[in-house]
Chain A
Amino acid sequence: MKLLLILATSHLRRNSLRTRLLASGIALACMLSIVLAAFEHGVVLDLVEGSTALVGGQISVVGINKPAREKVFHLAGDLTELKKVIEASVTDLERVVVRHRTPTRLIARGESIVVANTLGIDVKEDPELLRILSPAKQSAYKRGGKEVVLGDLSRLGEPGSIALFARQAKNLRVDVGDTITLRAPTLRNVENAVDVNVVAVLQDMGLITSWNALADKDTISTLLGVPRDSAGLLGVRLRNVESTEQSLAEIRSGMTKANIPSLPAMVMFEFSKRTVLEAQPWVGQKYIVASWIDELFLTNWVLDVLHYLRLGLLFVVCAVIGTGVANVSLMTTRERIPQIGVLRALGMRRGKVLLSLALEMMLLAVGTGLVGIAAGALLSQGLDAMEIVTTSKMLVNNTMSDTLRFALDWRAIVSLMSALTAVSLIGAVVGGIRSLSVEPTVAIRHVD
């Protein structure tokens, strides 16, 4: 083995310029791919954390109340029992968040908009939600507005308070401090309305925020004409997003054991859900149990695009490195034909010769690849620590964050290393087989 290593390194040293050029190329390609993979992973994490915080958790259990066949309310009574069932069933549970989630009409200054998910929240119970939201500057929603942030999201705990997203504030032509009217039917199906005070205007974060608004939980209880301990949704926050599927199964099983009727997830818009539920013959109280992937089906395309982008990137990097390695491997084996002829004449087996060639390519590709990966990891950490703020609306809308995040993904590193090893081995074997096909007696004739 030592001999094989000596042979591989000596040949690399002999062609130092070519070796350095290729090594630099491989290291640079690896470094860039790791930085891009870290960026992509950061976007995915931001999107998942942001969107799950907005819908309450990785799993949502939404109360559906049907007092009559065609009447549908996003409501449940006292959720204490269901909460206990979930807490007892889910092994990876962080905690359970209780919220209202109901469609309302917002009216102000002659304008009105329908908000499909008006969230009634208790700010003390929802720290994740407040963490992902950023206040918008007045210029973002008001013509001639100043570059200043007005309002205070922490005031959302006050009775009769609401926080709107910038697009909603713009459509309603309201600012912080203005009063707007929230309108919705009560459980008795009579009209109700309450006046609320805009305490904050938040940055838009994509399509998802256009159908969400945040109000004080007690205010929504008053609007719906239900007791204060009532709610419409339990958001199940998990320690690890990877355990979503398992936790879904645990919740469904726990609910079945406790005789709490559940409904499967409905992957569709809120108004479509209502139409489907109205057509169902049952009456009473049931719960839709859905994962964040079901709830955020409209943003899943972003995750899919990023996933395919990552695969495409890996393919390009592998193609570039593979072409370089294969090319060098062919040149190396051609140059080493006399050496191979001597080694073969001295009795070295074909396999060992092939191993020697593979070692040379591995040292070149994998060794320098590791250096590139390490540099890429360091650069990603550095960029992440800089907390670069982006002004790109497209990026903010699709990532639900205005700060660029670079998160190292070990899966990307392992994939890249595996691909590098495979490509260098294939390159070495292809070149090696060609050189090994030359008879030792012919090969020796190539000696200068």
Chain B
Amino acid sequence: MKVSSLLTFIGMLLVAASASAQLSPQQMSAMLKKIDDVMTVPSDYQVAYYMQQTDSDGEEKVWQVMTFRRDQEGSLMVIANKPHTEAGKGYLRAGQNLWFYDPSTGKWERRGEDRSFFARSSRRRDFDVWRLHDEYDPTYVAKEKVGGVDVHRLKLTLKKTVTWESDFPSWEIWVNSDTGLPVKVDQFAESGKLMRSVFYPKWQTKKHPKTGKDLVMPQETRIFDQVDKGTRLHLITREMSFDPLAPNMFSKAWLEAKSR
């Protein structure tokens, strides 16, 4: 066999190997669906978050917030407990609208998905189900290693058919090829400017007490603001519960009463 033929053969083998490593659109779609699925709770759900924001000048701010979800209805409510100055402030998603309530003024204000959630760098999705499969079209970028872990790097582009609000029109997501869970996410603005880099160093798995479904939630999230460089946010999940919530809970009246 001539040397040139051998080289061609080796080249073809390499191409074939890389093609087999690359995920098909169906595989990518299934991967996103799996991420959404393991984060969707089949019952009422509440969880406490501890957030620590460190500004670029070193100043720190800490929040404790309670998140209530009823994923079957798409309901979400997030209320701040601490610090004292923020206590009673809350967000409520009703239908496709996200509302913010400030007890100091007693007024409700509609908030866009582009707005922060208590901390400057956080967004609604950090407290909610992701719905990546419904909102984004994936394209494969490469197979890489992040922190010694094999990952699939995908580019997500907001579907043109999405009529509801979304936070970032494009993402790059690094998914652990073994667990199928995200390791890192870069989120971009419409102009292509990198806005946030989010790392998920720890995920926690919990079996649903009634259905037995394995649920996976980020136990720790580290968000790096790429616009306001140096500002970072550390989210820690605590005190998860699947106990039933009050039927009328996801309403403005309930949040107002709770804030009082």
Contacts and interface: CB of A to CB of B under 8 A. Distances in A.
Interface in A204-262: 222-223, 225
Nearest to A108: B228
B240 interface: no
A183 to B, nearest CB: 7
Interface in A62-116: 68, 70-71, 107, 109-110, 112
B158 A190 contact: yes
Interface stretch (B126-134, B137-145, B186-194, B206-214): B186-194
Given A188-B169, A191-B167, A275 B109 contact: yes
B114 to A, nearest CB: 4
Contacts of A184: 114
A310 B231 CA distance: 54
Given A107-B228, A110-B57, A223-B191, A190 B109 contact: no
Nearest to B169: A190
Interface string B87-123: 0000000001100000000000110111000001000
B165 interface: yes
**By DSSP majority rule, is chain B's interface helix, strand, loop, or mixed?**
loop
A186 interface: yes
Contacts of B228: 107, 110, 112
A107 B227 contact: yes
A181 B167 contact: no
Contacts of B190: 186, 188, 190-192, 225
B201 to A, nearest CB: 25
A226 to B, nearest CB: 11
Given A189-B165, A193-B189, A278 B110 contact: yes
A180 B182 CA distance: 31
A185 B190 CA distance: 9
B230 interface: yes
Nearest to A72: B110
B contact residues, range: 20 to 34
Nearest to B97: A70
A126 interface: no
Nearest to B99: A70
User: Most chain-A CB neighbours within 10 Å: which of B57, B190, B191, B193?
Assistant: B190
B112 A189 contact: yes
Interface residues of A, number: 25
B224 interface: no
B27 interface: no
Nearest to A274: B110
A447 to B, nearest CB: 84
A194 interface: yes
B24 interface: no
Contacts of B36: none
B135 to A, nearest CB: 10
B168 A191 contact: yes
Nearest to A184: B114
A172 to B, nearest CB: 11
B166 interface: yes
A225 B169 CA distance: 11
A195 interface: yes
B55 interface: yes
Interface in B143-184: 158, 165-169
B39 interface: no
Contacts of B114: 183-185, 189-191
B241 interface: no
B28 interface: no
Contact of B191 (A107, A189, A194): A194
Interface of A: 68, 70-71, 107, 109-110, 112, 181, 183-186, 188-195, 222-223, 225, 275, 278
Shortest Cβ-Cβ A-B pairs, 4 listed: A110-B56, A191-B114, A192-B190, A189-B165
Interface of B: 55-57, 96-97, 109-110, 112-114, 120, 158, 165-169, 189-191, 193, 195, 227-228, 230-231
8 contacts: A110-B231, A189-B114, A190-B158, A190-B189, A191-B113, A191-B190, A222-B191, A225-B190
Given A189-B113, A191-B168, 11 more contacts: A70-B97, A110-B57, A190-B165, A190-B169, A191-B114, A191-B167, A191-B195, A192-B169, A193-B227, A194-B193, A278-B110
